[in-house]
Amino acid sequence: MNDRENSTELPDSDRELLSGTLSGLTARIGTENASEQLLRGGPCPGNLLNTRRGPLFVDLATYCRGPVEFDLAHAPEEVAKHYAGADYGLIHQCRALNWAMFWAWRWRQDDQMPDRARWRVAGLHRVRTALDRCGLG
């Protein structure tokens, strides 16, 4: 987000919102949670193969380490209630971080998303809504 040449159309106030969300929540989630594990970083049925040895994740581009709530934040909200011990506050923080990452990508000069001007505005609204939901708006 700090590379202005790669995101020249992003207004400064929105750049501050995305940059602050990305750095702030990354630090907050990283320091508040000691239990890290290997994560898929965006699990979905298209990234999972059913094998004889059990499920196998593919598409390694977004693998990362962190709390399981980061992966749960990619799923519909009702999924978390099936995961014993899930921290719902942390899930909301991770969801806000996920939205900020996704919408920051939308502001890149080379982004080819159709109707991107409309989606950019909608995305910033989603980030703000997610931040409000976890009390950080």
pLDDT at 102: 87
User: For position 43, what pLDDT does the model report?
Assistant: 64
Q: Give how many domains the chain has, as a whole number.
A: 1
- Cβ neighbors of 121 (< 8 A, separation 6 or more) are none
Give the pLDDT score at 18: 93
* Per-residue tens of pLDDT for the chain, all 137 residues: 567 787 888 989 999 999 999 999 988 888 766 677 777 766 667 777 889 998 777 777 777 788 889 888 988 888 888 888 889 999 999 999 989 988 888 888 888 888 888 888 899 999 999 999 988 87
Q: Which domain holds residue 64?
A: 4-133
pLDDT score for 2: 67
Q: What is the CATH number of the domain that holds 29?
A: 3.90.1200.10
**Cα separations in angstroms, 132 against 14, 56, 113:** 16, 35, 26
What CA–CA distances, in Å, run from 51 to 56, 72, 75, 77, 91? 7, 22, 22, 27, 29
pLDDT at 34: 60
The one-letter amino acid at 125 = H
**pLDDT (0 to 100) of residue 136:** 86
